[in-house]
Amino acid sequence: MVLLAAAAILRPDAIQTALSGRRTKYGSNALVMTLAFVGIVAVLNFLGQQHHQRFDLTENKDFSLSPQTIQILQSLKEPVHVVGFFTVGDPSQTNAKDLLEEYKTYSDKFTYEFVDPDVQRAFARQFQNPYSGSVFFTAGTKQQEAASIDEQSLTSALLKVTTDKPKVAYFIIGHGERDIQDGSNAGFSQIRQKLEDDNYQIATLTLATTSTVPSDASVLILASPQAELPQKELDTLSNYLNQGGRMVVLADPGLPNPLGSRPVGRLWL
């Protein structure tokens, strides 16, 4: 800059001739186009950071969140912060970042950070035995570790820190229903586990010993009974449904209708 200024002062005629030449004009045009291109790229990059948007072009939407997860994120009423503990070089951090970034897209109340437990040991002690690959959700005073780094586990942890009281699902028993503790193909342990992942508390209900449904019941589940329910129990279910209750009935083909041919509240099979 100093040398150019000195040349302009000592030989102004030579500088004027150089600036008016054809080569200089072409060079100036190229410089202007280069600066314009760099400016456009910078503006696009800034807009991309301010308005993050991802597109899943796979046929089965393999990298998109489920509608249930999106609904939960969009209905958040309090901030949720996620802390992922990863040591340097842990390959699972990439998968966690991709998923959490997708979660963040749907709610401005959702934030996350990554911490190396070997470096920030004092901070790590605030959590329950963090290890590389563990992910913790916090909301207010609640804290919940995700079972693994996948959408189902992350959403389950999100529900547990944002729900004041878990919903209760009662499985009706006493008529040969599928066993919710049985892990075989004949059992319903996987259904029970899925409900628990969705923050449902699971309980059983014997209609033969009561004429009312517990007041904390969010839903009743009649899981493939092998016999028709007695009229007394059907009356109990009818009263429950007429008062706005919810019920799921699973029936095996080839067996008698567990509810018979009579209407049960708002339900008729």
Q: What is the pLDDT of residues 1-49, one digit of tens each?
A: 778 777 778 877 776 776 666 665 556 566 666 766 777 777 777 766 6
Q: What is the pLDDT of residue 202?
A: 93
* CB within 8 Å of 191: residues ≥ 6 apart: 180, 223
* pLDDT at site 54: 60
> Mean pLDDT for the chain?
84
Residues 159 and 142: beta-carbon distance below 8 Å? no
Q: Which of 264, 206, 202, 203 is nearest to 231 (CA)?
A: 264
Strands of the sheet containing 200-206, edge to edge, are 200-206, 167-173, 217-223, 247-250
- Lowest mean pLDDT across 45-54, 67-76, 152-161: 45-54
Phi, psi of 238 (to 5 degrees): -60, -45
Residue pair 174/207 in contact by the 8 Å Cβ criterion: yes
Indicate whether 155 pLDDT > 90.
yes
pLDDT at 255: 80
Triad 33, 34, 37: Cα angle to 5° = 85
When pLDDT is cut at 50, 70 and 90, the band that residue 256 belongs to is confident
Could you report the per-residue pLDDT of 69-114, keeping only the tens digit for each? 999 999 999 999 999 999 999 999 999 999 999 999 999 999 999 9
